[in-house]
Copies of this chain bind each other. A is one copy, B any other.
Amino acid sequence: MVHQFFYPKTIAIIGATSDPKKFGNAVSANLVEDKELQAEIFPVNPKATEIFGLKCYESVLEIEKEIDLAIILVPSKAVPLVVDQCIEKNVKRVIIISAGFGEINDEGKKIEQEMKRKSLEVGMRLIGPNCVGIQNIGIGMNASFVQKPSKGNVSMVTQSGSFGAAILYEMVGQGLGFTKFANLGNMIDLNLTDLLEYFISDEDSKVVCVYLENVVNGRAFYNKLVEVSAKKPTVVLKGGRTAAGMKSASSHTGSIATDYNSLKAAVKQAGATLCESLGDYIAAIKAFSFLPEPKGGRIGVLTNSGGSAVLFSDHSEEMGLELVDFTEDFKKKINPHVIPLVKKVNPLDMIAGANGEGYYQVTKAMLEDPNIDIVVPCCVIPTFLEMKPDEHYKGVIKAWNETGRKKPIFPIFMSGSLLDTIKEFAEKEKTPIFLSPKEAAFAVKVLYERMKNYSK
Contacts and interface: CB of A to CB of B under 8 A. Distances in A.
A190 interface: no
A173 B307 contact: no
Interface residues of A, number: 87
Nearest to A437: B278
Given A248-B306, A249-B310, A316-B244, A341 B438 contact: no
Interface string A162-177: 1111101111111000
Interface stretch (A50-58, A119-127, A397-405, A409-417): A409-417
B414 A308 contact: no
Contacts of A353: 23
A65 B99 CA distance: 77
A27 to B, nearest CB: 9
Interface in A278-331: 278-279, 304-311, 313-318, 322-323
Contact of A170 (B349, B416, B437, B438): B416
Contacts of A164: 307
Given A166-B414, A249-B306, A252-B310, 17 more contacts: A21-B386, A23-B352, A25-B384, A146-B383, A160-B305, A161-B306, A163-B305, A163-B308, A170-B416, A211-B307, A239-B311, A243-B317, A244-B316, A245-B314, A251-B343, A252-B309, A277-B438
Contacts of A323: 244, 248
Contacts of A341: 99-100, 104
Given A163-B307, A278-B438, A341-B99, A239 B314 contact: yes
B417 A166 contact: no
A442 to B, nearest CB: 10
* Interface-central residue, A147, A243, A311, by most chain B CB under 10 Å: A311
A158 B162 CA distance: 40
Given A21-B386, A277-B311, A279-B436, A306 B104 contact: no
How many copies of this chain sit in the oligomeric assembly?
Answer: 2
A251 B345 contact: yes
A277 to B, nearest CB: 4
A253 B305 CA distance: 11
Interface string A233-254: 0000001111111011101110
B311 A245 contact: yes
Interface string A419-446: 1000000000000000011100000000
Contacts of A95: none
Contact of A99 (B166, B351, B385, B417): B351
13 contacts: A25-B385, A104-B343, A160-B308, A161-B307, A163-B380, A165-B305, A166-B380, A213-B307, A239-B311, A242-B314, A244-B313, A245-B314, A248-B309
Nearest to A213: B310
B162 A418 contact: no
Given A278-B438, A314-B241, A438-B277, A22 B160 contact: no
B248 A159 contact: no
Contacts of A304: 162
B104 A240 contact: no
A132 interface: yes
Contacts of A370: none
A13 interface: no
B317 A245 contact: yes
Contact of A169 (B317, B322, B415): B415
A249 B307 CA distance: 7
B386 A253 contact: no
B242 A165 contact: no
B279 A160 contact: no
Contacts of A414: 166, 169-170, 278
A20 B385 contact: yes
A26 to B, nearest CB: 4
A381 interface: yes
Contacts of A347: 248, 251
A384 B436 contact: no
